[in-house]
Amino acid sequence: MKTRPGNLRVKLPVFVFVLQVIIVALYVAFVTYDEHADARFQTNRTNPMDNAVYRDYPFFTDIQVMIFLGFGCLLAFFRLYGFGGMVFNFLTATFAIQWAILVQGYFQFSHEGKIHLGVVNLINAEFACAVVLISFGAVLGKTSPLQLLVMALLEVPVFAVTEWAVLKYLKINDAGGSILIHLFACYFGLGVTFVLYRPSLNEGHAKENTSYQSDILALMGTLFLWVFWPSFNSALTLKGDDQHRAILHTFIGLSASTLTAFALSAMLNKNGKLTLADIQNVTLAGGVTVGASVDMMITPAAAYALGMMGCTACMLGYKYLSPFLAQHCRIQDQCGIHNLHGLTGLISCAAGICAILMASEDVYGPSFYEIFAHRAPVDGDPKLQELQMLIPGLKPGLGRTAREQALFQVAAVLSTIGVSALGGILTGFVLKLPYLAPPSDEMCFDDDLFIEVPPDYDSPLGLKSTVTTDD
């Protein structure tokens, strides 16, 4: 007989409705429209086509596809946990975005006591949501919907505070989010799974397997993520040549990692066959690896090399590092987020630091001080006035040298990893509360615990062949 946790019939509705009442109250008290959405700011002289929605909405829709279809399908690779992967992704993502609008808004979009809401806020909130969903991958199949909601409730504020502190005080370059999205999400998720360690799962689980249909669905998720990743990396870069380079570098990096993944998958398989898990995950490594330097003049060749390096590190991580972490470090990383987001994020950060050290005004021209805004001359410096003649609207910087900026990048990497890991560990202890209905070891990776499933959901697919004979 299957053992079940406490009934969610009361726990989940009460938790969700309380959250919704609080969110509505906070929206009423603190959220208003920004100048592009507020009718009061529009006059007869306003050109509707200058509205920010036409600039930002295409990126927003692309990231929507990644969040709800890409992540959703990718997390549906377990044979008996396809509903859970997609449905809990849907639930967690929707709440995380609502919550991030408030929390991020307080730190980044608050003026005169109000959060000014526009499409750019939604893009930022979806980046925060992506952080939660990446961390979700580490505990996939081993948590209840209540646990996932609580994880999002706690992770979003930790992420928003870290993001605000790093950008405000360390002032780094991280256009593709290698530090503030991928590294943060990875080590937060590892912190959670470290605390939620289940010794019995190290020996394998009868339901921890895939099927032909679930693997196809996960592969569709990979394709959605692959196609729209250039929008993810370029959405918040400076418009113009910076955004153009970000799109080019992301596509080249993804292309390189894809070809490398196919080659390595066949080479490392003792039968010389392709492993679908490699195609589903490792092909995406290039999108992460170019992130920290995605808007810089790194050259297309460097983007290609980064894609190959990220793919190789990710592949070796799946094959050798993940089993080691599970056996010796109490880290059961269900989706291998340390390989796809942690290892590749570290490579990306190293590449970004190298690009910062090598950058010069000779290569970038006057726009050098737009891309590396913190290296612009300080207010009152005569050179600033000269640059403002060439680039109207250029703001004073901090006058940092290349070495100083690189050291701040290193400080951001170390502090982000430390804060996220600590936040994940503390969150893991909260998630161990019995009220949150964690599944038993027996019922991990099984939709039937929390979702109404069809009677034959766990039946193997039977393929019958009909043999005809001639009389």
Query: Which pLDDT score, from 0 to 100, does residue 462 have?
Result: 44
Identify which of 180, 183, 88, 215 has the alpha carbon closest to the alpha carbon of residue 141: 88
Longest dimension (CA), the chain: 100
Q: What is the pTM of this model?
A: 0.94
Tokens (6 digits) for 426? 């503390």
Which residue ranges form the domains of the chain, and what is each CATH number?
A: 21-41+51-358+401-441 (1.10.3430.10)
d(CA 286, CA 340): 9
With tokens 């390989």, the residue in question is 339
How many CB atoms lie under 10 A from the CB of residue 18? Answer: 10
DSSP label at residue 109? S
Helix (H) or strand (E) holding 141: none
DSSP label at residue 455? T
Query: Which pLDDT score, from 0 to 100, does residue 456 have?
Result: 83
Query: Which pLDDT score, from 0 to 100, does residue 4 have?
Result: 53
How many CB atoms lie under 10 A from the CB of residue 452? Answer: 8
Roughly what angle, to the nearest 10 degrees, separates helices 184-195 and 145-165?
140
Query: Which pLDDT score, from 0 to 100, does residue 90 have?
Result: 98
Measured CA to CA in angstroms, residue 235 lies from 131, 179, 249, 351 at distances of 16, 16, 14, 20
**One-letter identity of residue 141:** G
Laid out side by side, the sheet with 114-117 consists of 31-33, 114-117, 110-111
Roughly what angle, to the nearest 10 degrees, separates helices 53-64 and 212-234?
160
User: 363 CB contacts (<8 Å, ≥6 apart)?
Assistant: 297
With tokens 């939620």, the residue in question is 196
With tokens 């790194």, the residue in question is 298
| Contact criterion met (CB below 8 Å) for 172 and 166 | yes
Tell me the pLDDT of the chain (471 aa) as tens digits: 344 554 788 999 999 999 999 999 999 999 999 999 999 998 878 899 999 999 999 999 999 999 999 999 999 999 999 999 999 999 999 999 999 999 999 999 999 899 999 999 999 999 999 999 999 999 999 999 999 999 999 999 999 999 999 999 999 999 999 999 999 999 999 999 999 999 999 888 999 999 999 999 999 999 999 999 999 999 999 999 999 999 999 999 999 999 999 999 999 999 999 999 999 999 999 999 999 999 999 999 999 999 999 999 999 999 999 999 999 999 999 999 999 999 999 999 999 999 999 999 999 998 899 999 999 999 999 999 989 988 888 999 999 999 999 999 999 999 999 999 999 999 999 999 989 999 999 999 999 999 999 988 887 644 444 444 443
Query: Which pLDDT score, from 0 to 100, does residue 460 have?
Result: 60
Query: Which pLDDT score, from 0 to 100, does residue 221 have?
Result: 98
d(CA 37, CA 42): 9
| Contact criterion met (CB below 8 Å) for 101 and 114 | no
d(CA 459, CA 279): 26
